[in-house]
Amino acid sequence: MAFAKPKYGSDFTYIKEYKVPQPDLKKGENTSVLEFRIIPPIKSFEQAGKWAVYDALHYGYCGTHPRDNSKKVVRPFVCPEQKDYNTKLITHVCKECNQIRLRKETLAAAIAKAEQLKKTPEEIRKLVSPLADWVKFHNRDAKWKINIKLPTNEFGVLKLSHTTKKLLDVEINAVMTNRHIDPIDGDQGVWFRITRVATGDRPNDVRDSVSIVMVQKNVQVDGQMMTVEVLKDAKLTEADFEQAMQKCADLPTYSPRISDDQIDMLVKSSGDPEEVDKIWGISHSTEESQEFVDDDPLPDFSKQETATVAQTAPITQDTTATTTIAPQSTTFNLGGIEFATPQKESEKPKETPVPDIMNMNTKEMTDEEFLKAFKVS
């Protein structure tokens, strides 16, 4: 196969991101499906033979839109936190994670205190909403990233949860063991199908399963016509390869990384988009702006096309959320009541069980559900 030259400059194509679609409960749908063909190792991963990466992105900070100063764009960055999985101790500290943990603990403490003061759920929700908005906006999204081709001949990056990626790995092993074929190799390969089934009323109440895509074929056996199931043809052509080189990610460098010092500065910043861009080292002078747009490695969220099969959750988050929480503050005055962060940030923090509110639609929750979501059990 021939390698195509990657495109740069004004022809630069933003990489499309896909995720497993949610069943549309409002339309009465119970299941949704995504079919894809994994792209074999390309670009920097070619030698290593790798085809997937796992990282977590922090979404709490916005910069200025390169072409429209009145708009903001989310500037996500890779979380550098590392953990010893045996001791559960954090071996490399991420200042943003620390800050998020503190805020979540403060929020839980604030709810507990307001309950002690016999406030109603509605009152408490109003009181803690600025802090809850902050926590929700400072989303940390850990996902696998895999280059894929869709049946529609589109290419891009599939984002999968760790749970679903494990199911995919099981299916990959099953294909190799039972069918003796390489499920990713360009000359063979298979199409995978992820089926998502709704298990409850909430968007997060879903269960995924992974299978391989089969098609029916009519064949003649001893003069008789029979219908058999065979693997859907997944051979990749040279044209596919060129498309993949243009439209798929160089996975090891796909997610933007900044230094620990930069993260420290972001955490201490006011969160003002100009200040955020300064920390990122992004200049907005008009002379450079054209160049900046072309070479900007960051996805431009306001411009990014939303693929029909997928909407990338963190990108659609409300960037206008009011983050009025002062940086580094450990006490909050919410509606005249003082709330303090229950504990100081320690040098080697242990993982604290904190509520996972990442994909929750807090706006649709009742007051009781809302408070329950932010409580630390």
Number of residues that bind Zn ion (CB under 5 A): 5
**CA distances for 295 relative to 73, 157, 245, angstroms:** 16, 19, 17
Closer to Zn ion by CB, 42 or 57: give it.
Answer: 57
Q: How far is the CB of 307 from Zn ion (least distance, A)?
A: 27
- Binding window for Zn ion (CB under 5 A); candidates: 33-41, 90-98, 181-189, 231-239: 90-98
Closer to Zn ion by CB, 38 or 93: give it.
Answer: 93
Closer to Zn ion by CB, 99 or 341: give it.
Answer: 99
- Binding window for Zn ion (CB under 5 A); candidates: 13-21, 75-83, 151-159, 334-342: 75-83
Q: How far is the CB of 78 from Zn ion (least distance, A)?
A: 8
271: left (phi over 0), alpha (psi -120 to 50) or beta: left
114: left (phi over 0), alpha (psi -120 to 50) or beta: alpha
Q: How far is the CB of 95 from Zn ion (least distance, A)?
A: 8
Q: Which amino acid is at 55?
A: D
Closer to Zn ion by CB, 141 or 171: give it.
Answer: 141
Closer to Zn ion by CB, 97 or 236: give it.
Answer: 97
82 pairs with which residues across the strands?
A: 92
Q: How far is the CB of 12 from Zn ion (least distance, A)?
A: 29
Cβ proximity of 352 and 109 under 8 Å: no
Q: How far is the CB of 140 from Zn ion (least distance, A)?
A: 6
Neighbouring residues of 299: CB distance < 8 A, sequence distance ≥ 6: 14, 15, 17, 315
Closer to Zn ion by CB, 79 or 131: give it.
Answer: 79
Q: Which of 81, 141, 171, 208 binds Zn ion (CB under 5 A)?
A: 81
Closer to Zn ion by CB, 190 or 276: give it.
Answer: 276
- Binding window for Zn ion (CB under 5 A); candidates: 35-43, 44-52, 80-88, 173-181: 80-88
Closer to Zn ion by CB, 52 or 94: give it.
Answer: 94
Distance CA 332, CA 326 (A): 9
- Binding window for Zn ion (CB under 5 A); candidates: 91-99, 124-132, 209-217, 221-229: 91-99
Q: How far is the CB of 108 from Zn ion (least distance, A)?
A: 19
Q: How far is the CB of 361 from Zn ion (least distance, A)?
A: 23
Q: Which of 20, 38, 62, 79 binds Zn ion (CB under 5 A)?
A: 79
User: Please, which of residues 92-121 interact with Zn ion by CB under 5 A?
Assistant: 94, 96-97
**Biggest CA pair distance of the chain:** 86
- Binding window for Zn ion (CB under 5 A); candidates: 71-79, 152-160, 313-321, 359-367: 71-79
Closer to Zn ion by CB, 82 or 152: give it.
Answer: 82
- Binding window for Zn ion (CB under 5 A); candidates: 76-84, 209-217, 251-259, 357-365: 76-84
CA dihedral 322, 132, 367, 358 (to 10 degrees): 110
Cβ proximity of 355 and 136 under 8 Å: no
> Which position has the token pair 């696998």?
144
Q: How far is the CB of 98 from Zn ion (least distance, A)?
A: 8
146 pairs with which residues across the strands?
A: 52, 158
Strands 224-231 and 206-212: unpaired
Closer to Zn ion by CB, 96 or 141: give it.
Answer: 96
Q: How far is the CB of 263 from Zn ion (least distance, A)?
A: 8
Strands 62-64 and 72-74: antiparallel
- Binding window for Zn ion (CB under 5 A); candidates: 8-16, 77-85, 114-122, 352-360: 77-85
Q: How far is the CB of 83 from Zn ion (least distance, A)?
A: 11
Binding residues vs Zn ion (CB under 5 A):
79, 81, 94, 96-97
